[in-house]
Amino acid sequence: MTGAAIEANGLGMTYGRKRGWALRDCSFRLPTGRICALVGPNGAGKSTLLSLAAGLLRPAEGSVRVLGSTPAEARPRIAYVSQDKPLYPQLTVADTLWAGAQLNPASWDRAAADRIAGVLPQDAKVRTLSGGQRTRLALALALGKRPELMLLDEPMADLDPLARHQLMGVLMAEAAEHGTTIVMSSHILTELEGACDYLLLVDGGRVRLGGESDDIVAAHSVLTGQARDLAPHTVVESRTTGRQLTALVRREGPVDDTAWDVKEPSLEELLLAHLRSPEAPALLTPSAHAREEVATA
């Protein structure tokens, strides 16, 4: 079994007692070398989880280990790009990249940074850049550091479709060539489908789905037919149109294909069904189980 990029055990976080739990009872393992989509509705706890892994927040309960160390110890090996992408507004693009090189003298990879920032006007001050250009610069700093783990909070949100496509390509090539683990939160489900091989769905502060995207998809089926009895399968979502019932289920045994038309859901279909059905039971594939949890199970 490969090492863990992130391992959370009973992880919980609150921003104040009156505010309730932003994240609660989160236990999962993300193996190294994966490109992981972190998805969930607004306020689900995605940014909180990334900030805890980056060591910017301390857990209120439980623990999180990153690359086998505490988040603080792992910091030199991590690049974290937050949603607001803090950069120095008075510096130029070239100065910002120079500062990146000075801050990471042992690992700085100019060519990697240029693959993303090369198209930016090098003499422009950061404060004059558009939102998407600032995102490019923040991602270039992150990649130039040549980290083992990239934690990216909605990195593509303000990029145009061509830029998204190009940056996703650069990130995927990076992961393939260097074994970099990438965790990327996003609301753009279609974009994640081809790019990410691992999935964490967080909702209401808890992990609802975790594991290899292919395995999670393969555990589910869309059943369509005129029968009504879906037992023994776990129904995530169902709807009736006329006499026809369509249900997205987690299979709990063989499906009676004389009664049902059976198809595999797309990742987007699966995620939307889980987002609409917060009461559906959680599913973590074996690789996503925290080791401590496995040891005590």
Contact residues for ligand ATP, defined by CB under 6 A: 15, 19, 22, 40, 42-48
16 versus 254: smaller Cβ distance to ligand ATP: 16
Handedness of CA 275, 281, 282, 284 (dihedral sign): negative
Q: Contact, 156 vs 187, CB < 8 A?
A: no
Task: Report in angstroms the alpha-carbon separations of 262 from 129, 256, 286.
Answer: 50, 9, 25
Residue 103 Cβ vs ligand ATP, minimum distance, rounded to whole Å: 26
Residue number, 46 or 146, with CB nearest to ligand ATP:
46
Smallest gap, in angstroms, from Cβ of residue 169 to ligand ATP?
24
| Closer of 11 and 93 to ligand ATP (Cβ) | 11
Q: What's the CA angle centered on 40, arms 273 and 181, to 5 degrees?
A: 115
Based on CB atoms, which residue is closest to ligand ATP, 207 or 247?
Answer: 207
Nearer to ligand ATP, 48 or 180 (CB): 48
User: Smallest distance from the beta carbon of 295 to ligand ATP, in angstroms?
Assistant: 29
User: To the nearest 10°, the Cα dihedral for 91, 97, 99, 103?
Assistant: 150
188 vs 255, beta carbon nearer ligand ATP? 188
Q: How far is the CB of 87 from ligand ATP (least distance, A)?
A: 19
For residue 19, the minimal CB distance to ligand ATP (Å) is: 5
Query: Smallest gap, in angstroms, from Cβ of residue 12 to ligand ATP?
Result: 12
